[in-house]
Amino acid sequence: MRKHNFPGFATLVLGVLLLGSPSTAIAEEKRAFTVDDMLDLVEVGDVVMTPDGSRVFYSERRLNWKTNSYEETLMMVSSEGGTAVPFVRKDGGEQFRISPDGRYLSMLREVDERPQVFLMPLDGGEPQQRTEQRGEIIDYGWSGDGKTIIFVAEEAMGEAEEKEFKLGADPIFVNEGPNGKNHGRWTHLWRIDVDSKIVKQVTDSKLPAGSISRRLRQRSIYGGWRSL
């Protein structure tokens, strides 16, 4: 669901901390930094704080060499410092966010190879699936009052179209690069009422994914959507 990418500066800093102090590492062994060393670094992301400022959540992403895939664990630590502990490990997830009212931790988690929205009560309990979208969910955000989630999802394929797609057919292409064309599909905005669990499509017109996903993320970060 998430493409592999090289770790950024924050990851490199965390990697140095995990490997020990520079003086200790140099004293034990001097050698060149390799590609394997870079792949072993832990990537840190999805950093969010509870509205009351008491807890910080962040994800740790590391490579599992045996399965040749990345595994992501959500960690929790007191904002005053201390030892971080795993908060979400089983079945993983990504795009972790906290509702503005502090009731839920939200995430995207794959079900039958499709990302779905899950909610996990911050006061305890297991993540519960809230969407059953046939089209891939690309991004999502919370309303300012914490009562609604709005998300971006691709148009669902019919059975015949999906069969052809798996065989390589795709009439819409975006971002053609040196490694070939990446597939693209039209998207729509959807909303979920958190308490009633009712899911409703918001837009009727076909929209390219990037045109609304970026704005949705900005709204989610800076206080949520005011009206949906």
Distance, CA of 35 to CA of 25 (rounded, Å): 18
Residue 200 and residue 105 share a domain:
yes
Residue 145 and residue 69 share a domain:
no
Domain limit, last residue, from 33, 60, 83: 83
Q: Is residue 171 part of a domain?
A: yes
Distance, CA of 141 to CA of 163 (rounded, Å): 31
Q: Is residue 88 part of a domain?
A: no
Domain limit, last residue, from 63, 83, 103: 83
Distance, CA of 19 to CA of 14 (rounded, Å): 9
Residue 196 and residue 97 share a domain:
yes
Residue 72 and residue 20 share a domain:
yes
pLDDT at 55: 93
Q: Is residue 106 part of a domain?
A: yes
Residue 189 and residue 139 share a domain:
yes
Q: What is the extent of the structural domain holding 226?
A: 93-228
Residue 33 and residue 101 share a domain:
no
Q: Is residue 184 part of a domain?
A: yes
Tokens of 197: 């669990």
Residue 63 and residue 121 share a domain:
no
Helices (H) then strands (E): counts for the chain: 5, 14
Distance, CA of 175 to CA of 198 (rounded, Å): 34
Residue 67 and residue 97 share a domain:
no
pLDDT at 12: 45
**Digit-coded pLDDT (tens) for 170-199:** 555 555 555 555 556 678 889 999 999 899
Residue 98 and residue 73 share a domain:
no
pLDDT band at 2 (very low <50, low <70, confident <90, very high): very low
Q: Is residue 167 part of a domain?
A: yes
Question: pTM value?
Answer: 0.67
**Digit-coded pLDDT (tens) for 105-161:** 999 999 988 899 999 998 888 889 999 998 889 899 999 999 999 999 888 766 666
Residue 203 and residue 179 share a domain:
yes
Q: Is residue 140 part of a domain?
A: yes
Taking alpha carbons only, the member of 59, 47, 61 closest to residue 7 is: 61
Domain limit, last residue, from 32, 56, 83: 83
Counted domains in the chain: 2
Give bridge partners of residue 162 from the DSSP assignment.
Answer: none
Q: Is the pLDDT of residue 48 over 80?
A: yes
Residue 34 and residue 119 share a domain:
no
Q: Is residue 24 part of a domain?
A: yes
Residue 110 and residue 46 share a domain:
no
Q: Is the pLDDT of residue 14 over 70?
A: no
SS3 content of the chain, % helix, strand, coil (to 5): 20, 40, 40
Q: Which residue has the higher pLDDT, 36 or 210?
A: 36
